[in-house]
Structure 1
Amino acid sequence: MTRYVVIGGGIVGLATAHRITQDRPDAQVTVIEKESGWGAHQTGHNSGVIHAGVYYKPGSLKARFARAGSVSMVRFCEENGIAHDVCGKLIVATSADELPRLEALHERSLANELPVRRIDAAEAREYEPNVATVGALHIASTGIVDYGQVCLKLAELLDKAGASLRTGTKVTGLRPDRGGVIVETTAGEFPADVLVNCAGLHADRIARLGGIDPPARIIPFRGEYYELTPEKRDLVKGLIYPVPDPQFPFLGVHLTKMIDGGVHAGPNAVLALAREGYSWGKVNVRDLAGTLAYPGLWQIARRHLRYGMTEVRRSLSKARFAESLARLVPAITEADLVKSSAGVRAQAVKPTGELVDDFLIVAKGPQVHVLNAPSPAATASLEIARHIVSTLPGAR
């Protein structure tokens, strides 16, 4: 019997463990999670979008897995009674100078074989009556879901399949053992013939414990959200995104109808002062020192200082945040926003300052390390899992 240990109880780790139990039913599977519950970090703090795969380079893992994942995630929800809604989304140009970028995005969407239509302002307002736009893209396969509920269902299925689910268990070391790995934790040692690292915000650190020299380091970026007040939720019917500026590394604040009926506004993107830094007041000296000592951070700062300062100002000013949203829906005012929870994106950055723009999975011997899995990883989680498990060493 082959012993598999998966580190990380977010959606990618749980999906991978679940896929192992499906494809290799004789396997012994253990999932190790340092928090007391599942999906506590990136999975539990995202906006719940089932992404179509619009933005990603054709042929990349992100493009392929998001497109396939938008189907497999919906199917999983249907089969397991998880609330979801394939509501579609609009990407809107708010001025004429954004139209060339919108057309480039349209061409990329077609290259990615997505159900996308270029529409004019009048048709856009048939979907979103309150939107400000001179032209838009409508992507039919985008949806919404609560990924926390997906995690709970995956954990339930794993338990039924006989997997060992270990929450409240922190990995402290890895050491080689007769062709496998001993996973040292605060709850004892776990022998693994095959190790899969899905530790998200700490994935590069786990890789180093395993003797891997990661080609990039995790830099944490906090994304802050507001919610529309209940009486203003009707201003948004589905999902409204701006046309992203390719000069900048993130998508810009947008409006997302949640599966519970609320409307999230955001996220922005500011450097977090801890890998789990969900507010300006959360500082981890070790995390911050490591971030500041990394050459890649300073290369990002040099290239995107103006953008970064704009994001900081927006973080510190509710009025600025509201102004950004009003570009999409002019009726939104500062008074319509209520502070919501933030998330932290685990973004892999090369020493040169380049953001790793695709999923990054590194395998060495009996170890597989998922070193970059930000959005759209939740959408693509079942496909990432399928890919990982197809490459794992076979049963002994």
Structure 2
Amino acid sequence: MSGKRYVVIGGGIVGLAVAHRLVLDRPGATVTVVEKEPGFGAHQTGHNSGVIHAGVYYRPGSLKAKLCRDGSASMVRFCTEYGIPVEVCGKLIVATGADEVPRLHALHERALANGLPVRLITAEEAREYEPHLACVEAMHVASTGIVDFRAVCDRLAKLLADAGAHLRTGERVVGLHDTVVVTTAGEIRADVVVNCAGLHADRIARLAGVDVPARIVPFRGEYHELRPERRELVKGLIYPVPDPALPFLGVHLTRMIDGSVHAGPNAVLALAREGYRWSAFDLRDALDAVAYPGLWRLARRHLRYGVGEVARSLSRRRFAASLARLVPEICEDDLLPAAAGVRAQAVAPDGGLVDDFLIVRHGAQVHVLNAPSPAATSSLEIARYITAGLPV
């Protein structure tokens, strides 16, 4: 029996999964979740595309590759066990021109190295899945699925409450001294602290005196959705071949678990860590970003890409044109605005984008400093990975 006190900072899907794993594995432990919002899954979790990723894109042997592959399976099992609507529908990654075929084949080799059920198919075979698709070749990924991750959060929160965990919402962490968590409602004493604060994870780590190896830079991902009468143009999930130098997957088409079809996201620098609109501006967040040398080095390295993303953000016509490369019948009038998300992307001081999950242990603290997509897919396995290394 464990009598230890565990505090998890952050009530997104990763924080809730860590807390749930602690409840399952540490009978007798006291588990507390601190979340600054009035509810759970309010930020990255509640604003993503709802895709259960297979693990195609990630470097073999990396945490992302292993935890995403295993997490896609455990997420489907969890949803099935608790009656959360989920569908393993598969997806297509498509080359729309001959110049993209070598990158598609390289991605196929990576997916095979990651142990995934994938196969290259012809354009004719691809149109059996997606009749309105334009491509020269495609890869079918059988194990990709769709779900509402906020519904997963709701279930995790209920399981935690039923198990006697302390769920403290509406409390912001303002200090972290060894294992004393200071919130706007007072102090919480712990034996172990796990920081899963997402968009603010680096700041929480700095409160504890951790020399963080990377800084969170927020990128807003903007979505549109197809008008209901045009949803028949997309049967499942259609992705372009991504640029291997970037962690963004390109604008794609996703049939959601509720039947709607979302298009996006792009990736533009946000001037607030919770900047879901162009008008959102937070002086502290903006100054934090522009004072960071890593951001300027990143901007120089990817200036052309960044300009293109801003142009697409400002023009629905450009956004529609990106989608028409995949499904030519889509036009500007088919798109309706949809809610945006913000990706908490860790950027190294040299301007490099951290391409793996970044988890730093510091005494009796664990800091999850880079957990963008596919963290929702991987959340149950991230939780296993973290808790396996914690004192009982």
**TM-score calculated relative to the size of structure 2:** 0.99
- In the alignment, does 2:305 pair up with 1:307? yes
Q: Secondary structure at the match of 1:371?
A: strand
Amino acid at match of 1:170: R
Among candidates 336, 339, 348, match of residue 338 of structure 1: 336
Amino acid at match of 1:168: G
Q: Secondary structure at the match of 2:102?
A: helix
* Runs of at least 5 residues in structure 2 that lack an aligned partner in the other structure: none
Amino acid at match of 2:36: K
Q: Secondary structure at the match of 1:113?
A: coil
- In the alignment, does 2:27 pair up with 1:29? no
Partner of 1:360: 358
Partners of 2:246 and 2:353 within 8 A in 1: no
Partner of 2:253: 255
TM superposition shift of 1:249: 4.0
Partner of 1:89: 91
Partner of 1:193: 191
TM superposition shift of 1:255: 0.2
Partner of 2:74: 72
**What is the CA–CA distance in structure 2 between the aligned matches of 1:259 and 1:39, rounded to whole Å?**
17
Amino acid at match of 1:148: R
**What is the CA–CA distance in structure 1 between the aligned matches of 2:5 and 2:117, rounded to whole Å?**
41
Partner of 2:109: 107
Among candidates 2, 5, 14, match of residue 4 of structure 2: 2
Among candidates 150, 153, 171, match of residue 151 of structure 1: 153
Q: Secondary structure at the match of 1:340?
A: strand
TM superposition shift of 1:182: 1.1
RMSD: 0.6
**What is the CA–CA distance in structure 2 between the aligned matches of 1:272 and 1:164, rounded to whole Å?**
33
Q: Secondary structure at the match of 1:342?
A: strand
**What is the CA–CA distance in structure 2 between the aligned matches of 1:87 and 1:152, rounded to whole Å?**
23
Where do residues 323-334 of structure 1 align in structure 2 (5 Å cutoff)? 323-334=321-332
TM superposition shift of 1:43: 0.1
Q: What is the CA deviation profile of residues 201-226 of structure 1, one whole-angstrom value per residue up to 9, with x for unaligned ones?
A: 00000001111111000000000000
**What is the CA–CA distance in structure 2 between the aligned matches of 1:69 and 1:87, rounded to whole Å?**
16
Q: Secondary structure at the match of 2:339?
A: coil
Where do residues 231-246 of structure 1 align in structure 2 (5 Å cutoff)? 231-246=229-244
Partner of 1:172: 174
Q: What is the CA deviation profile of residues 197-256 of structure 1, one whole-angstrom value per residue up to 9, with x for unaligned ones?
A: 000000000001111111000000000000000000010000000001224442110000
Q: Secondary structure at the match of 2:368?
A: strand
Partner of 2:384: 386
TM superposition shift of 1:99: 0.5
- In the alignment, does 2:226 pair up with 1:224? no
Q: What is the CA deviation profile of residues 301-320 of structure 1, one whole-angstrom value per residue up to 9, with x for unaligned ones?
A: 10110100000000000000
More deviation, 250-259/239-248: 239-248
Amino acid at match of 2:206: R
**What is the CA–CA distance in structure 1 between the aligned matches of 2:67 and 2:37, rounded to whole Å?**
27
Amino acid at match of 1:104: A
TM superposition shift of 1:289: 0.4
Partner of 1:320: 318
**What is the CA–CA distance in structure 1 between the aligned matches of 2:119 and 2:89, rounded to whole Å?**
15
**What is the CA–CA distance in structure 1 between the aligned matches of 2:133 and 2:297, rounded to whole Å?**
37
**What is the CA–CA distance in structure 2 between the aligned matches of 1:277 and 1:170, rounded to whole Å?**
18
Amino acid at match of 1:134: V
Q: Secondary structure at the match of 1:195?
A: strand
**What is the CA–CA distance in structure 2 between the aligned matches of 1:284 and 1:263, rounded to whole Å?**
31
TM superposition shift of 1:95: 0.5
Q: What is the CA deviation profile of residues 93-130 of structure 1, one whole-angstrom value per residue up to 9, with x for unaligned ones?
A: 00111100000000000000100010000000000000
CA separation of 1:370 and 1:248: change in aligned 2, threshold 3 A = closer
Q: Secondary structure at the match of 1:265?
A: strand
Q: Secondary structure at the match of 2:81?
A: helix
CA separation of 1:222 and 1:191: change in aligned 2, threshold 3 A = same
Q: What is the CA deviation profile of residues 135-170 of structure 1, one whole-angstrom value per residue up to 9, with x for unaligned ones?
A: 000000000000000000000000011000011010
Partner of 2:64: 62
* Runs of at least 5 residues in structure 1 that lack an aligned partner in the other structure: none
Partner of 1:374: 372
**What is the CA–CA distance in structure 2 between the aligned matches of 1:393 and 1:27, rounded to whole Å?**
11
Amino acid at match of 2:389: T
Q: Secondary structure at the match of 2:302?
A: helix
Partner of 1:51: 53
**What is the CA–CA distance in structure 1 between the aligned matches of 2:371 and 2:59, rounded to whole Å?**
15
Q: What is the CA deviation profile of residues 47-102 of structure 1, one whole-angstrom value per residue up to 9, with x for unaligned ones?
A: 00000000000010000001001100000000000001100000000011110000
Partner of 1:131: 133
TM superposition shift of 1:292: 0.2
Partners of 1:248 and 1:307 within 8 A in 2: no
Amino acid at match of 1:245: D
Q: Secondary structure at the match of 1:280?
A: coil
Amino acid at match of 1:142: T
Q: Secondary structure at the match of 1:224?
A: strand
Amino acid at match of 1:186: T
Q: Secondary structure at the match of 1:124?
A: helix
Q: What is the CA deviation profile of residues 247-300 of structure 1, one whole-angstrom value per residue up to 9, with x for unaligned ones?
A: 444211000000000000000000000000001100000000010010110111
Partners of 2:104 and 2:139 within 8 A in 1: yes
TM superposition shift of 1:393: 1.6
**TM-score calculated relative to the size of structure 1:** 0.98
